[in-house]
Amino acid sequence: MFSRISSGVAIAFLATAITCSPVTSTSRDKQSIARPDIQPFPHNAGRARPFSPSRNATCHVAAQDSGADDSAAILSAFQECKNGGTIVLDADYTIGTALDLTFLDGVDIALSGSITFTNDIDYWTANAFRYDFQNSMTFWKIGGKDVNIYGGGVGLIDGNGQAWWDAFAANNSLLRPIALVVDGLEGGSITGLRMINSPNWFNLIANSSDILVSDMVLEAKSANSNPVKNSDGWDTYRSEYVVIQNSVIDNTDDCVSFKPNSTNIVVQGLVCNGSHGISVGSLGQYVEQYDIVENVYIYNNSMSNASDAARIKVWPGVHSELEPVLSGGGGSGYVKNVTYERYESNNNDWAIEVNQCYGQSNTTLCELYPSNMTISDIYFIDMWGTTSSKHDPKVGTLVCSSPEQCFNFHAKNISITSPTGKSEWICANFDTSDLEGFNCVADV
């Protein structure tokens, strides 16, 4: 068993890991970085990482000056080195054209420079790649087989999000791009990058398998009173055998979120701040769709200044409205075998939240239309720390639609207190007999 890590210790570890990456040049525009050998540790997602052979060609991308669009040169390099090559991005690049890079086979992407997306909202809203799920869209998408994206601790992806947050403040139906989408990737890694100011989610891992994410730094900060919106660190969707580890995230929405059909996932060694937690869901959003999240292990993480530390959120059994770009309910499926173990909570509103009425404040409606999503075999083990004063003396809320939809909940060694030193839990509509040490109360 690993010892508890404080957020300060975890940040120091990450900085050391990134600083020691093999940067081999003295000038930024000539930097060359080697692919790091990073492995899942201490846990993998259930099977070993696929072997990734050395590359046989190199394509260097020259950047234009004055922020001109480098998309054509980037696309040309990817096409030239798409089979067994390394694409070197060691300068400051601007992307102003949507890029579909899902045709790669055995490719390394060495980013020691920076990529900044233009803030041409009219262009991107008309030309970004779109996904039906939650009205998602992206500037670019990367996929294929055996692709490694690495930054050696110096590579930067800048989503240029301020213009989007300002526009969203005036029009809350505006759809905004995701900074990086991995789509249809079989085997690969994303390591050693810094990502800042994504207009929407930072990362979406979709339709992919055998992915390692490690040694990342994500930060979203607004320069004015218009807030950062929907800045999820990572969302997984229709993906399996994914490990996300050893990273620092400072954002305003889910640190990690497991969207529909995410299975065999490990999240370990993250330091999250200001988020909505490490979250299962939301699920059951779309009628006639069957959502699954199964075999998820969340180990040795810390969460600070968030709405939740551990969170499971599913929609009720009938369509409901949350906000103009997010509504739903009535879908079905299940959440099964999810473990939160060794989890530090610092000033979070809830240490644990289980919600089968996501997106709906009308509790009567949720009682009439219980969620179609089953939640079972859930484990909370070795959680410690504090909550904020928001719900004092309550520290967590676990409210299910009905006992038929929630069962086999377990908790052990939970040491969470409110600022007044008390520890009350809201528990409803499930068997609480295996929640060791919980003082369950009614929601009053």
- Each residue's pLDDT, cut to its tens digit, for the chain (444 residues) gives 223 333 343 433 343 333 323 222 323 344 579 999 999 999 999 999 999 999 999 999 999 988 899 999 999 999 999 999 999 999 999 999 999 999 999 999 999 999 999 999 999 999 999 998 999 999 999 999 999 999 999 999 999 999 999 999 999 999 999 999 999 999 999 999 999 999 999 999 999 999 999 999 999 999 999 999 999 999 999 999 999 999 999 999 999 999 999 999 999 999 999 999 999 999 999 998 999 999 999 999 999 999 999 999 999 988 877 666 678 899 999 999 999 999 999 999 999 999 998 877 667 777 788 899 999 999 999 999 999 999 999 999 999 988 999 999 999 999 999 999 999 999 999 999 999 999 999 875
pTM (two decimals): 0.92
Asked whether 179 and 219 are in contact (CB, 8 A), the reply is no
pLDDT at 322: 64
On the CB side of 245, how many CA atoms lie within 13 Å of its CA? 21
Strand 136-138 relative to strand 129-131, pairing = antiparallel
pLDDT at 444: 55
Catalytic positions are: 253, 276
* CA distances from residue 410 to 315, 339, 436, 438 in whole angstroms, order as listed: 22, 9, 8, 11
Contacts of 56 (CB under 8 A, 6+ apart): 84, 85
Q: How far apart are CA 146 and CA 54, in angstroms?
A: 11
- Residue carrying structure tokens 């968030």: 306
* CA distances from residue 441 to 132, 386, 401 in whole angstroms, order as listed: 40, 19, 17
Nearest Cα neighbor of 105 from 61, 50, 157 is 50
Strand 180-196 relative to strand 140-158, pairing = parallel
Q: Among the residues of 260-360, which ranges form H helices?
A: none
Q: How far apart are CA 51 and CA 146, in angstroms?
A: 8
pLDDT at 328: 85
pLDDT at 31: 57
pLDDT at 363: 72
pLDDT at 17: 33
Burial of 444 (0-12, 13-18, 19+ CB in 10 A): exposed
Contacts of 329 (CB under 8 A, 6+ apart): 284, 285, 287, 315, 316, 317, 318, 319, 320, 359, 360, 369
Asked whether 74 and 110 are in contact (CB, 8 A), the reply is no
pLDDT at 29: 42
pLDDT at 12: 38
Q: How far apart are CA 122 and CA 403, in angstroms?
A: 48
CA 24 from centroid of its chain's CA atoms: 31
3-state secondary structure of 188: strand
DSSP bridge partners of 130 = 137
pLDDT at 369: 86
Query: What one-character DSSP code corresponds to residue 285?
Result: -
Q: For residue 251, what are its two tokens? A: 């954002």
Asked whether 310 and 342 are in contact (CB, 8 A), the reply is no
